[in-house]
């Protein structure tokens, strides 16, 4: 019997049908009654009457307990799911799953591997669970993923073509400029599932796989504040500059800064530059979330050259922890230790908000400078966005 108790017919039926869909071969699915969930005797009597009606229709079997003269209903056992589907006007997930891919199945020229992927998705969705990160019944996304995978494969296996940015490629392939960005990992998985001879490519990072087909993100300019030059030429006085990534190798330091600070979010970057960074004394770089490869390469190169205290300021949440660790690992490769700025357990304990977080992001963090913070986030389920803290210069 499920440990959760129920005091409404709708919630009891929903639970039984959800478990029936996840385990269609199960023979003894039961649900308990929440005796304390009824505010009046009349509500309990009405509930029992509806259960009795469902039993007469053959949908459930009532489970009773107690002495023979005082037996009471303590739970129910599923007998015929079809009766319950009709009672709540709900269609079986397997039926909905098959319907959601009917148009995709009829598509001419669908590779055999794509048909197998569709079958796998329908099997998962029939149990009410997602498949390769695509939520149950989302046939449109599955269609886009398969179409994008086919288009990427065509570029890999055909004549060489010029480079294309994510959004242009996605718009031309499926008519949605953001579909590829939303489903990068799903597209990479689909390619490995759909096409043979891709063992080597399937081991690549999804964006590396796409880069091999000439499909790349259109990188934002690198935003920096500090005493820097481009190809040896200084910039006029301004709060910060934006440099195209294809010119990144020409960025240099005119003088040695007191510290280097990378900042995850744009608002905090601008505020730090205007409110906390002293002209010519700091090198401040906008990371833009997970930094692009040119931005990461520039941060790493300038930090290795400067050899000054180097900090990162980001959100205190699982994403912010991953970004810090990503930067930390790359900087460590050139002998630079990254320190957290305004990212402490004390600040999070004082200002954090409860959120639902998984603990997997905190794995393998024991050697990180944010190990304690990661453990605290995972254990307490708190997070905090950096924009809510006013900027200040790092102390060391």
Residue 394 forms part of a structural domain: no
* Span of 1-10, 86-95, 235-244, 326-335 with lowest mean pLDDT: 1-10
Percent of the chain with pLDDT over 90: 73
Query: Phi/psi at 68 (nearest 5 deg)?
Result: -55, -40
Residue 393 forms part of a structural domain: no
- CATH number for the domain harbouring residue 380: 3.40.1360.10
Read off the tokens for 230. Answer: 């481009």
Q: Looking at the structure, do residues 50 and 178 belong to the same domain, yes or no?
A: no
Q: Looking at the structure, do residues 183 and 314 belong to the same domain, yes or no?
A: no
Boundary-marking domain end, from 87, 107, 140: 87
pLDDT at 200 over 60: no
Q: Looking at the structure, do residues 129 and 36 belong to the same domain, yes or no?
A: no
Boundary-marking domain end, from 216, 235, 270: 216
Q: Looking at the structure, do residues 167 and 295 belong to the same domain, yes or no?
A: no
Q: Looking at the structure, do residues 59 and 97 belong to the same domain, yes or no?
A: no
pLDDT at 359 over 70: no
pLDDT per position as a tens digit, 32-75: 999 999 999 999 999 999 999 999 999 999 999 888 777 889 99
- Quickly list DSSP for 291-314: --HHHHHHHHHHHHHH-S-EEEE-
pLDDT number for residue 198: 60
Residue 396 forms part of a structural domain: no
Q: What is the domain range of residue 194?
A: 93-216
Which residues, in sequence order, are bridge partners of residue 385?
Answer: none
pLDDT at 242 over 80: yes
The overall average pLDDT reported for the chain is 91
User: pTM of the prediction?
Assistant: 0.59
Residue 367, CB-side half-sphere exposure with 13 Å CA sphere: 6
Q: Which residues contact 86 (CB under 8 A, 6 or more apart)?
A: none
- CATH number for the domain harbouring residue 13: 1.10.10
Residue 354 forms part of a structural domain: yes
* Span of 198-202, 265-269, 310-314, 374-378 with lowest mean pLDDT: 198-202
Q: Looking at the structure, do residues 51 and 125 belong to the same domain, yes or no?
A: no
Boundary-marking domain end, from 200, 216, 232: 216
Residue 238 forms part of a structural domain: yes
Q: Looking at the structure, do residues 239 and 346 belong to the same domain, yes or no?
A: yes
pLDDT number for residue 206: 87
pLDDT per position as a tens digit, 124-175: 999 989 999 999 999 999 999 999 999 999 998 877 677 789 999 999 999 9
Query: Phi/psi at 54 (nearest 5 deg)?
Result: -65, -35
Q: Looking at the structure, do residues 99 and 83 belong to the same domain, yes or no?
A: no
Q: Looking at the structure, do residues 277 and 363 belong to the same domain, yes or no?
A: yes
Q: Looking at the structure, do residues 327 and 374 belong to the same domain, yes or no?
A: yes
| Cα of 387 vs its chain's centroid, Å | 21
Read off the tokens for 109. Answer: 């020229």
Cα distances (angstroms) measured from residue 329 to each of 252, 292, 375 = 22, 15, 18
pLDDT number for residue 92: 94
* Residue 311 CB burial class (10 angstroms; 0-12, 13-18, ≥19): buried
Q: Summarize the confidence of residues 192-219 as an average pLDDT.
A: 76
Q: Looking at the structure, do residues 130 and 266 belong to the same domain, yes or no?
A: no
Residue 277 forms part of a structural domain: yes
Q: Looking at the structure, do residues 235 and 310 belong to the same domain, yes or no?
A: yes
Q: What share of the chain is helix, strand, coil (3-state, %, to 5)?
A: 50, 15, 35
Nearest-angstrom CA–CA distance, 161 and 93: 42
Number of domains in the chain: 3
pLDDT number for residue 148: 97
Residue 395 forms part of a structural domain: no
Residue 256 forms part of a structural domain: yes
Q: Which residue has the higher pLDDT, 1 or 226?
A: 226
pLDDT number for residue 386: 92
pLDDT number for residue 207: 82
pLDDT at 2 over 60: no
């Amino acid at each position: 019997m499920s440990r959760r108790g129920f005091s409404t017919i709708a919630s009891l039926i929903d639970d039984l049908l959800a478990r029936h869909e996840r385990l269609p071969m199960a023979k003894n699915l039961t649900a308990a009654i929440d005796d304390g969930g009824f505010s009046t005797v009349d509500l309990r009597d009405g509930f029992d009457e509806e259960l009795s009606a469902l039993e007469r229709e053959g949908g459930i079997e009532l489970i009773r307990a107690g002495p023979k003269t005082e037996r009471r209903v303590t739970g129910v056992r599923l007998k015929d799911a079809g009766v319950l589907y009709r009672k709540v006007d709900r269609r079986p997930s397997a039926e909905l799953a098959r319907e959601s891919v009917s148009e995709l199945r009829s598509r001419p020229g669908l590779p055999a591997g794509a048909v197998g992927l569709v079958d796998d998705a329908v099997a998962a969705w029939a149990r009410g669970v997602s498949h390769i990160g695509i939520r149950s019944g989302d046939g449109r996304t599955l269609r886009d993923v398969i179409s994008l995978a086919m288009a990427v494969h065509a570029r890999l296996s055909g004549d060489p073509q010029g480079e294309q940015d994510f959004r242009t490629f996605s718009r031309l392939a499926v008519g949605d400029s953001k579909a590829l960005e939303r489903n990068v990992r799903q597209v990479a998985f689909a390619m490995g599932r759909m096409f043979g001879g891709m063992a080597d490519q399937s081991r690549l990072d999804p964006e590396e796989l796409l880069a091999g087909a000439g499909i790349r993100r259109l990188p934002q300019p690198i935003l920096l504040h500090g005493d820097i030059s481009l190809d040896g030429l200084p910039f006029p006085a301004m709060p910060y500059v934006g440099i195209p990534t294809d010119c990144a190798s020409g960025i240099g330091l005119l003088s040695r800064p007191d510290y280097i600070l990378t900042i995850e979010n744009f608002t905090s970057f601008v505020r730090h530059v205007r409110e906390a960074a002293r002209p010519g004394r700091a090198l401040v770089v906008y990371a833009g979330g997970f930094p692009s490869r040119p931005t990461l390469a520039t941060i790493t190169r300038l930090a290795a050259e400067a050899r000054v205290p180097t900090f990162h300021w980001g959100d205190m949440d699982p994403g912010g922890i991953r970004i810090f660790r990503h930067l930390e690992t790359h900087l460590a490769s050139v002998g630079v230790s990254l320190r957290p700025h305004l990212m402490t357990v004390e600040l999070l304990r004082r200002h954090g908000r409860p959120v639902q977080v998984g603990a997997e992001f905190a794995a393998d963090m024991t050697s990180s400078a944010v190990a304690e913070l990661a453990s605290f986030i995972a254990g307490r389920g708190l997070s905090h966005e950096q924009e809510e803290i006013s900027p200040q210069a790092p102390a060391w």
